[in-house]
Each structure stands twice: as structure tokens, then as C-alpha cells.
Structure 1
Amino acid sequence: MTLRSILALTFTVEQLHQHYQLDTEAILARHGLQQAHLDANATISQADELAILAEFADQIQHDPLAAITIGSTFGLSSYGAFAMMLMSCSSVYEAFALGIKYQQLSYLFSELDYQLNGDTVLLRLKPYRLPDHLLRFIVDRDVAGTWHFLNMMQTMLGQQLKPLAVYMPYPQPEEALAYRDKFQCPVEFGRDEAAFVLPAEVLRLPFPGGNSTALALYRSQCDEILKRRSQVRTEALSERLQQYLSMFSQRFPAIKECAATFALSERQFRRLLSDEGQSFQLILDRVRSEKACHLLLNSSTSVEQIGLLLGYSEAAGFIHAFKKWQGMTPAKFRKSSTQ
């Protein structure tokens, strides 16, 4: 499976420890990592990184603007050769085009593209399928980090352009005014995707430091990095998928969305799972079964409500599935376990 640089995670860890005094070492240790021994050239899967970020997000819920703070401190060093390639472009237009083509080298949990609308251009970030409780944290980090990067590019251009508007793909929070203060423009919530609305003229701005020789060098480095990361890994994909699906309730991602999270095509995704003797549906059923058993044994949640939490619109569908998993109805399972 395709991997991503561990730089963004290490930078996030450092900032969380610095700003919130979190015991980041303990969280990393639960995932078999040690901050002092993380290689700057190391890689990590999106799903593994997401699992770690989920633990961090849980511990800083007291500050709903934490991800905006963290993303706003991302420096050029956290982007590596990817940043140097973009800085060597001849114009903003070329930087946008290459940034989108090589977006796998960014830290984003979003699909990046842009759209021209008359005299404006939308730089769009469409989030991957994320657990509801993580959506705002991840989107805020992506948007704030992207905006900080754009500001650094503007400094190179000698410009101080502000976005005409910023779109966010979740309901308006109580802290909405803080977002307007951050981006110095109207911020619209509840949109389908995150986006910066910019004047179209920005695409024509030249980079004074544009250098075709340097661009060719850094682009070849980026190509080589992508080539190394695209080496297919078959070990424990099913385990990573199970860990990823375990973070969801009610609305589980479809196989196509999971494949995108693991940076694989749906065909590759199915084949790799099959090589491990697994299937997407089998793993999803396993996750649902484990969640159901845990709730039946450790809560008084009704069978109907458990079914809803597992994505079943009707209790009958959940009961039928549970009988297939455990050989008995949920009610009988709860009663027999209690006895």
C-alpha cells in the first residue's frame, strides 16, 4: 500500500506536546513508536496515522480550536522536497497544478483540486471519509496548514492577498467568529467540502524565485519518493482495516472510501485483502460483531439502539446479522452472558 511521510505526524506530536503538555510518548508507545527514534525519512499509512491522531484529538477536546493552532505552525520543513518543488515553480498556476499532481506527498487527509469560477478560483479540499468525531479536528488541521503554506508562498511573491471566503464541511460551531478572525474573511460552514475562494488573478502571479533547473531536480526527487512509497505491502492490511473501521459508528465507510484512505484503488484493495484470506465484508462484520457484543455485555443500550449504532436502519436487520455472527439473537446473548 502507498505510504506517506511521517514528518507531519512528528511535527503535530511536537506541537501538541509544546502547546498542551500531552504525554505524547505514551500515545506513540501504544502504537509501537518512540518519538526520539522516528526517522525523518520514515513512512506511515494514512490509517495508522489517523488512529494516532484520534487519540490526540480525544485528549484536547477542551480546546476546539487546537487543530487550527497546530496547523498554523506547520513550517516548510514538514513538507520536505514537495515544498521545495512548489517554491521552484514559475507561477502560482504551475504550483497549483503540481501541488495537485503530487498531493500524495502532502500530509492532507483530503483530496486536493481547484476549480475556476469566472473571476474566482476555488482551492478545494474534499475530506476523505473520516469518523464524525474526528472530522473537525482533521479538517481544521488541513485547512489551517494549507492556509499557512499559501501565506508563505505569498511572502515570496511580495503579496498579502486574503481569501474572499473560506468554506468548512461541518456545521457552524460556537467558535465561528474565531475562524473569521483567523482567515480574515467570511467563513461559511456546512458546505460539502473545504475550500478557499481566491481571486482568479492570483493564478497568473509569477514566482520571483522560479528556477526551471531546481524545479526539475526537486520534481525528480518527488517522483523517486512516490516510487518508493508505491511499493505494495501486503502484511496486515486486514488488521489495519479492522482498526480503521473500529473508529466508526452508524455510518461506516464503503469499500471505495476505505481504499482511498489506504491510498489504493478499489481493485488493489480487494486483491490484497483476498491475498490475506480476507474480504471487506468479512472484516466489517467482525467489527460490527465485536462492537455489538461489547455493548450488549457492558451497557444497557437497547437492541434497537445498538442496531442503529452499527448502521442498521431496522432492528430486524441487526438481529438477523447478529444471529449469523453469534448463532443466537442479541437478547439471548445478553441474557446468557449475564447468567
Structure 2
Amino acid sequence: MSSRSILGLMYTMRGLRSLGEDPAPVLARYGLDLDRLDPGARVERSLELRILVEVAEQLRDPMAGLKTGPFFGFAGYGPLSMLLLTCADVREAILSGVRYQRLTYLYSTIRFEEEESGLSVLSLAPLPLPWRAFRFRVDGEMSGTFKLVNDIQKTIGTELRPQRVDMPYPRPAEAAQYEAHFGCPVRWDQKEGRFWIDQALMNLKFPTHDPAAHALYRNLCDQQLVDQQRELDNLSHKVLLHLELFEGRPPDAGRIAEFFGLAERSLRRRLAQEGSSLRGLVASARQNKAQQLLRHSELSVEAIAERLGYSEPAAFIHAFERWTGMSPSRYRAER
């Protein structure tokens, strides 16, 4: 599996914590602390899914998945959110969402069809998972998709509420709360999750339509898909992604080896076979995060040094000059 932004996992975990659930023990088993995760990091999809499955097993509220949907921020979709807003109409926005679904936080496969009945249907085919995880993911993805549609309709000023929603599991005791959440009838025990929408809404124009900006964001989304395809499924890449999850001092070699189910000596040997080293990967992770923070935040150099786990700013400045040939202040000024 490829990697993706860690924001989806953060939205879900923070939502659960706000709802009174406690995902911390599961995250701790993977060496993660929700309050120390870097929003700019990426996470292996397989690791994220393992965490979600384990968290689902210890949830107290069976509707926790449905309730996490509203915690997903529209801006968190990055260029995709702007691509959708600059579409010409509702139909183009939905088709764009389907085309670039790999840039969303879904594990379901989505498709869009226009029926002869005068209704359009957006379908989500879920992954086969253990029951508790299945309901948690279906509810979260249906609710998150519903939140995305609501965010778009707030911008264009049009009501896009579905006429009916299908859910792919038997009717639960809380069924009435689902109808209240979606604002429409819900059918249970269906093959897939589905949103049924009046076809007449597909032609509604977006006041935010901007062909030039749309082309720009489409190119950015295309590049993200290319980057996903280019990710190498090797240990060095996985270790780098793991290191970028952390703020502060990175985990030591023993903790990293334990995370990947290896002896420390085996970890170092395999990295060497791939032409890398743990020391080099730690430096790469720090450099990537430092450059991102200098470009996209107003944190002081001292604060960035602390966030990257340096005991004093001078050590960070020296390391940054070695990486880039310039000081952090100059790098920020030039960008």
C-alpha cells in the first residue's frame, strides 16, 4: 500500500477523543502520541488501517464512526478541495472526486452513476473487515463524505441533501439517529453504501468556477497521484515515513526496529543493502520537516529546533546549513 497524509488519522483520533473515547493505548502500541503527530507527515495506508481496526475493537459507542465525520476539515484535502470548488457544476465536482479518490481518506472504492429513474447515485464499496471495524469504517466514510458534500454546498449556496441513503449492514438499534444525521430515509442491509441524489441537481453551476485555477489544481492532483505510484515499497521509504510522524526527538534505533518487527542489527543491515542508513534517514526526516516549517509556518528558528528534537538552536542551524548550504533564516527569506 502507498502512503497518504496523516491528517485523516488525526481527524478520526481527535474526533474519538472529543467523543469520550480513548485511542491513546492503541496509538501507544505503535509508538505514536496523538499530540505529537506532525500534521505534515504521511502514513502508510496499511499501518493506518491496522490502527483503525484495533481502535474499533475497543470503542464503547457503536455510533462513534458516524460521529467522527464532522471532524474532517474541508481544507485538509489539500489541492483536491480547491479542485472541487473550481469545478463548473455539481456533476463535474462529483466526477472529479471519483477520479481523485486516492487523494481522499477513504478505504472504500467510490463510483458515480446516473440512473434512468432521475436519480444519481454515489456508491462506496467498503473493504471486508471484522464486524466492529467494518461498521466503524463504513459509518466514518459515509459521514465524512456527507460532511464533504455539506462543505461544498455551503460554498455554492445550494441544498444537495440526498433523497435516500443506503447502508451495507443490517439495521441497528440506533437506526433513527442515522436518518436524523443524514436528513433522509435510510435503507439497511444493502450491497454498498450509497447516496441517492436528485439528478436535476447535477447541473447546478458553481459560483466559484475558475477554469484557470481548476487547471492548476488538477495538475497538482495529478502530480500527487504520480508521486503515489512512484513510492518504492522498500524499508528505507517506510522508515522515513515513520520518522516523519514524530515531533521532538525521534525514536531510537531499538524502538524503530521493534516497530518493524526486526532486530536492530537486521534493520541496519537491510537499510545498508538499500544504500541508506538510519542516521541518514533521521537527517532526511528532520530536513524535510524543517523546510516545510520554514516555508509554511511562522514558528521561530528556536521553536523549530525544539520541535525537531534539537537540544539547542545552534545545533539545528549547523545541521540545516550542512543540508542546504544556507541558514534557516536565509532559506525562509528566499522562499
Q: TM-score scaled to structure 1, two decimals?
A: 0.66
- 2:19 is aligned with what amino acid? H
The superposition leaves residues 4-52 of structure 1 with CA deviations (integer Å, 9 ceiling, x where unpaired) of 221100111112222215152x422311333344333322232211111
Q: Which residue of 2 aligns with 1:317?
A: none
Q: Give the structure 2 partner of residue 132 of structure 1.
A: 131
Partners in 1 of 2:200 and 2:35 — Cα distance?
A: 45
**Alpha-carbon deviation of 1:133?**
2.7
Is the CA contact 1:11–1:78 (under 8 Å) kept in the aligned structure 2? Answer: no
Partners of 1:47 and 1:21 in 2: how far apart? 23
SS at match of 1:121: strand
Question: 5+ unaligned residues in a row in structure 2: which ranges?
Answer: 239-335
Do the aligned residues in 2 keep the contact of 1:110 with 1:127 (CA within 8 Å)? yes
In the alignment, is residue 10 of structure 1 matched against residue 10 of structure 2? yes
The answer for the alignment partner of 2:82 in structure 1 is 84
CA distance 1:21–1:126, shift in 2 (3 Å): closer
SS at structure 2 position matched to 1:209: coil
Aligned residues: 236
Asked whether the 8 Å contact 1:110–1:128 carries over to 2, the reply is yes
Show the 5 A alignment for 1:264-275. none
Q: Is the 8 A contact 1:109 1:128 kept in 2?
A: yes
| Distance across 2 between alignment mates of 1:43 and 1:7 | 8
Identical positions, percent:
37
- Which of residues 81, 86, 92 in structure 2 aligns to 1:94? 92
Partners of 1:214 and 1:42 in 2: CA distance:
26
Q: Which residue of 1 aligns with 2:72?
A: 74
After superposition, the Cα gap between the structure-2 partners of 1:65 and 1:27, relative to the gap in structure 1 and judged at 3 Å, is same
Deviation at 1:213, TM superposition (A): 1.5
Q: 1:198 — aligned with what?
A: 197
Distance 2:7 2:29 in 1: 19
Distance 1:156 1:192 in 2: 32
Distance 2:228 2:41 in 1: 10
Q: For 2:157 and 2:121, how far apart are their aligned partners in 1?
A: 22
Please tell me the residue identity of whatever aligns with 1:125: L
Q: Classify the secondary structure of the residue corresponding to 2:52.
A: helix
Q: Following the alignment from structure 1 to structure 2, what is the Cα–Cα distance between the partners of residues 23 and 115? A: 37
RMSD over aligned Cα atoms: 2.0
User: Please, what TM-score do these two structures have when normalized by structure 2?
Assistant: 0.66
Contact residue 4 and residue 105 of structure 1 kept, 8 A: yes
**One-letter code of the match for 1:207?**
F
On the 8 A contact 2:16/2:23 being kept in 1, the answer is: no
Structure 1: which 5+ runs fail to align? 240-339
For 2:122 and 2:220, locate their aligned partners in 1 and report how far apart those are by CA, in whole Å: 25
- 8 Å Cα contact 1:6-1:43 kept in structure 2: yes
Deviation, structure 1 residue 98: 1.0
Work out whether residues 23 and 55 of structure 2, in 8 Å CA contact, stay in contact via their aligned partners in 1.
no
Aligned counterparts of 1:210 and 1:29: Cα–Cα separation in 2: 44
Q: Report the 3-state secondary structure (helix = DSSP H, G, I; strand = E; otherwise coil) of the residue aligned with 1:230.
A: helix
The residue type equivalent to 1:9 in the other structure is L
